[in-house]
Structure 1
Amino acid sequence: MQAELTSDDIEAARLGDAQALARLLGARRRQVIRYAERHCVVHDVEDAVQETLLIASRSIRRLRAAVALNGWLFRIVKRECDRMKRFWRTHVFDYAPERELEQPVVQPVDALRHDLVRAIESLPQHYRDVVLLRDAQELTIDEICEVLDLSREAAKARLHRARVLLREYLNP
């Protein structure tokens, strides 16, 4: 059994020490597996663990405090399990070879484009700005914050609310 990691080890991983990161993820792998076993469908556990460790290795610098590591890993696992469940719910269907598949309803591209333009125009200006910067100009949240002089939380909240309003407009 490995020695327990200290907050100094976690801080070293946060600051970019590759060996400390490898030790950290190795030491927490069993815990991540237990989290995944509780929240994922059985056949998704290993995929969720791999995705979690990959996301954690890429995002460790965003961890604000060493004491928050377990909760942070738990949230990543939970999000990955939920994402996989949504994927199976939306991409897997009841296939019966004797039954003919339904043809999808396809709307002409021009009609979709016009609907989307009308939906975006219906947004209040502060929502329209953030959604256009993010989805049309593909700026990052930090870049949007600079352009609009907003905090990260405000930019994310506006983007979320704008997308909710767009969905409501497009799917009455």
Structure 2
Amino acid sequence: MTRVSDIIISALSDEEIVARIVNGEQHLYENLMRKFNLRLYRISMAIVNDDKEAEDIMQIAYLNAYRQLSNFKHQSSFSTWLTRILINESLLHKKRKLRLQKALMENNYNDYHRQTPLDDLMNKELKNALQKAVSTLPEKYRMVFVMREVQGMSTTETMEVLNLGESNVKIRLTRAKEMLRTELNAYWKPTQLYEFNLVRCDVIVNHVMNVINTNAR
């Protein structure tokens, strides 16, 4: 049964919810996380290409965003602001990982890359092929493809998040599709990539809210 309070909250804009959180209703942060979990997961995956690492990055990004809520200046939408925090954290994580890999190689350690299967695959072979094909795209094309075709973000928001012009977004998206067609030479369904089910959603939300509630005491 839907509660009246849930209906009221769902009618609020992200920015209105942020204002209420800043004014003491910290439990409302859960609403924002559940709304943006899938988007942030997909975008982080486009950068780090490891689902466990993406989940860890999401938790860090959410906590960083929560701590900075009072500094949110409304110069862009909350979703754009949050996505930028996620991207920055993902890129920072990737740089740290590359430095570590380089150090290990210099010390004659074998580089090990763990491949993680996606959950709840409706068509495992197709999704594995898509996942592999997307992961081989150069990062600048992969990020635009995931934002526009997988996550369904508008051209305008993609421009804002990546600080690109409209023509660059369109060119990169077109180029990404061309490279995927060459790789797959078959029909693909990009919206099935990077599944993020309810159980994984709960893990992220519960961890972040526990940290927030602990710090509030």
Q: Which structure has the bigger radius of gyration?
A: 1
Higher relative CO (Cα under 8 Å, sequence separation at least 6) belongs to 2
TM (normalized to structure 1)? 0.48
